[in-house]
Amino acid sequence: MTAPAIRVPGLDEVPAAVEAVLGDFLDGKARAGADSRILQFTGILRGLLAAGGKRLRPVLCCCGWQAAGGGDLTPVVPAAASLELFHTFALIHDDVMDRSPTRRGRPTVHRTLATRVSGRPGCLDAERFGDNGAILLGDLAMVWSDELLHAGGPTSVQLAAARPVLNAMRSEVVYGQYLDLLAGTDLGSGLEAALTVVRYKTAKYTVERPLQLGAALAGGDGRVLEACSAYGVPLGEAFQLRDDVLGVFGDPAVTGKSRLDDLREGKHTPLLAIALRRADRTQTRTLRTLVGDPGLDEEGAARIRDILRATGALDTVEHMIDERHRQAVGSLRRSPFPVSVQAALHRLATAATARTS
């Protein structure tokens, strides 16, 4: 299957071009499907992809392409779109592990699949079916992400340059997810452990690696790739820290996700690690009792939020976000990127850290 050559005049047109490439790719998969039950997979993927998402990774990939002198964006769009399929794989698996009921304001994939078979004669465990089906669908999204990358027709030289970046990105996401699970077994594992999860699970694969992928495909040298890291790692960390704050303090009507989920799961974020380090005895007891309670209600969550404010944890994380934003933006002035790319990345940095969803 060959990805369509959709003309992309500039960075502002990247999200629409990515939507078109993904739509055509999934249409091709649907036409090739021999069994209507398997076709459900493409329908579910299409629904998840269409439910929103910032398309940040594809835009950054295209920024990396231009940062390395790639020029016209059309050739890199299939690779940029492939990152959305990889991201979909990560989201589906993450939701299964976190037992999340919603994603982007809609039921998560495992919940959707479970609902479809619930009540059927002979269906003994709809929830288990939903989990297992979601794992398989996530795997398929990862396989298709690689297929879409190749469908763009990269040369052997481009593939050789891109492969180390992709290998690193894929491994880092898995490492980060495992470390996240591990941190959830010990609320007292500390701030450094929480920041390591942030770095591997999100920072690298959200900003640094997409930038580097585009730069590698355009033939960027070591200096360009290092500049991608200097910008990407601090901004990626700031992006996840903002996610952590929104996960507890955000408006579900805007974020599309409950602000109880992270607290019920006992997610060991830097926000929580800082609060535990500073909490007095009573506050510590409250946090250890309520965080991780699957039955936590909004009243209990409000008590946790009060402690996060009272210990200064929320203010500290906001400061950490600001500091990382400054590091990322400051790195642009030292980078070899064209001025137009620096300006675009500056805007993206602000959008990624000042967001409400």
pLDDT tens digits along 29-49: 888 766 777 778 888 899 888
pLDDT of residue 126: 87
Among the residue ranges 150-154, 323-327, 333-337, the one predicted with the least confidence is 150-154
Provide the residue type at 66 as one letter.
Q
Reduce the DSSP state of residue 53 to 3 states and report it.
Answer: coil
Instruction: Please compute the mean of the pLDDT values over residues 146-161 and round it to a whole number.
Output: 95
Reduce the DSSP state of residue 221 to 3 states and report it.
Answer: coil
Distance CA 23, CA 8 (A): 16
Distance CA 159, CA 148 (A): 13
**In the predicted structure, residue 8 carries a pLDDT above the cut 70:** no
Which is higher by pLDDT, 310 or 183?
Answer: 310
Which is higher by pLDDT, 55 or 121?
Answer: 55
Does the pTM surpass 0.85? The reply is yes
Cβ atoms of residues 130 and 110 within 8 Å: yes
| E strands present in 129-247 | none
Reduce the DSSP state of residue 194 to 3 states and report it.
Answer: helix
* Average pLDDT of the chain to the nearest whole number: 91
| E strands present in the chain | 102-103, 106-107
Q: Quick: pLDDT tens for 277-303.
A: 999 999 999 999 999 999 999 999 999
pLDDT of residue 247: 93
Distance CA 65, CA 179 (A): 31
What would the two tokens of residue 147 be?
A: 């297929």
pLDDT band for 3, please (50, 70, 90 cuts): low
Q: Quick: pLDDT tens for 77-114.
A: 999 999 999 999 999 999 999 888 888 778 899 999 98
- CATH 1.10.600.10 in the chain, residue ranges: 1-153, 164-357
Return the bridge partners of 106, or none.
103
Provide the residue type at 343 as one letter.
A
Q: Which residue has the tokens 């919940």?
A: 111
Q: Quick: pLDDT tens for 222-269.
A: 999 999 999 999 999 999 999 999 999 999 888 878 899 899 989 899
* Topology of the domain covering 1-153: Farnesyl Diphosphate Synthase (1.10.600)
**In the predicted structure, residue 169 carries a pLDDT above the cut 80:** yes
Q: List Cβ neighbours of 270 (8 Å cut-off, separation of 6 or more).
A: 191, 194, 195, 198, 241, 244, 317, 320
**In the predicted structure, residue 137 carries a pLDDT above the cut 90:** yes
Cβ atoms of residues 105 and 52 within 8 Å: yes
Distance CA 59, CA 344 (A): 10
292's torsion region: left (phi>0), alpha (psi -120 to 50) or beta? left
Report, in angstroms and rounded to the nearest whole number, the Rg of the chain calculated over CA atoms. Answer: 21
Which is higher by pLDDT, 53 or 151?
Answer: 151
Instruction: Please compute the mean of the pLDDT values over residues 142-154 and round it to a whole number.
Output: 94
Quickly count helices (H) and strands (E) in the chain: 17, 2
164-357 maps to CATH 1.20.120.530? no
The number of beta carbons lying within 10 Å of the beta carbon of residue 322 is: 13
Q: SS3 for 245-289, per residue?
A: HHHHHCCHHHHCCCCCHHHHHCCCCHHHHHHHHHCCHHHHHHHHH
Return the bridge partners of 103, or none.
106
pLDDT band for 5, please (50, 70, 90 cuts): low
Eight-state DSSP code of residue 11: G
pLDDT of residue 32: 79
pLDDT band for 6, please (50, 70, 90 cuts): low
